[in-house]
């Protein structure tokens, strides 16, 4: 999987009301950018950047482009490779509403996430050096 952008409006699923879905006619704007950090035949480690923050946005958008989140039994399928959704926000930045300064927070992925990368033979990046290009 190469670098790309998913620009697909999201809204409630038509019949499964607890799920979200791509809804071109009635959904709210949702944009997700993705770039691979490493890729193997069974899985890829993606760096994602969100322009919007819709409910289940990452999960729905990645499933929409036929690249569901590993361990996501709602929008993907049970692969047996992960006991949970393999999502992790290693960096979160936002502009402070009062001071206007940009605040950035870092968190290394948990051990089970790193172990999953190792089992899949995906390279573990130096997280502090991963930046959107």
Residues 53-82: pLDDT tens digits? 999 999 999 999 999 999 999 999 888 889
pLDDT on residue 133: 75
Whether the model clears a pTM of 0.95, i.e. scores above it, the answer is no
Work out whether the CA dihedral 91, 39, 53, 71 comes out positive or negative.
Answer: negative
- For 3-14, what is each residue's pLDDT tens digit? 999 999 999 999
Please tell me the predicted confidence (pLDDT) of residue 80: 87
pLDDT of residue 1: 72
Query: Contact at 8 Å (CB) between 45 and 39?
Result: yes
Helices (H), 8-107: 57-64
Q: What's the half-sphere exposure (Cβ side, CA atoms, 13 Å) at 85? A: 16
For the stretch 78-127, pLDDT in tens is: 888 899 999 999 999 889 999 999 999 999 999 999 999 999 999 999 98
Asked if pLDDT for residue 30 goes beyond 90, the answer is yes
C-alpha dihedral over 10, 56, 82, 132, to 10 degrees? 90
pLDDT of residue 12: 96
- State the Cα–Cα distance between residues 1 and 24, nearest whole angstrom: 24
What is the predicted pLDDT for the residue at 128?
87
**Domains recognised in the chain with CATH numbers:** 4-124 (3.30.2350.10)
Which regions of 1-133 does DSSP assign to beta strands (E)?
A: 4-7, 10-12, 20-22, 31-39, 44-50, 91-95, 102-106
Pairing of strands 31-39, 4-7: antiparallel
Report CA Rg, the chain: 16
Gap between the Cα atoms of 108 and 88, Å rounded: 9
What is the mean pLDDT of the segment spanning 17-21? 94
């Amino acid at each position: 999987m190469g670098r790309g952008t998913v620009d697909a409006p999201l809204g409630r699923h038509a019949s499964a009301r607890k799920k979200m879905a791509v809804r071109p006619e009635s959904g709210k704007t949702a944009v997700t950018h993705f770039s691979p950090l490493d890729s193997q035949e069974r899985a890829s480690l993606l760096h994602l950047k969100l322009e919007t923050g819709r409910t289940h946005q990452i999960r729905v958008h990645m499933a929409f482009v036929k690249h569901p989140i590993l361990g996501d039994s709602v929008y993907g399928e049970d692969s047996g490779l992960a006991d949970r959704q393999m999502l992790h926000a290693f960096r979160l930045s936002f502009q402070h509403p009062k001071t206007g300064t940009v605040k950035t927070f870092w968190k290394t992925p948990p051990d089970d996430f790193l172990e999953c990368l190792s089992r899949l033979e995906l390279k573990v990046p130096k997280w502090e050096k991963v930046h959107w290009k």
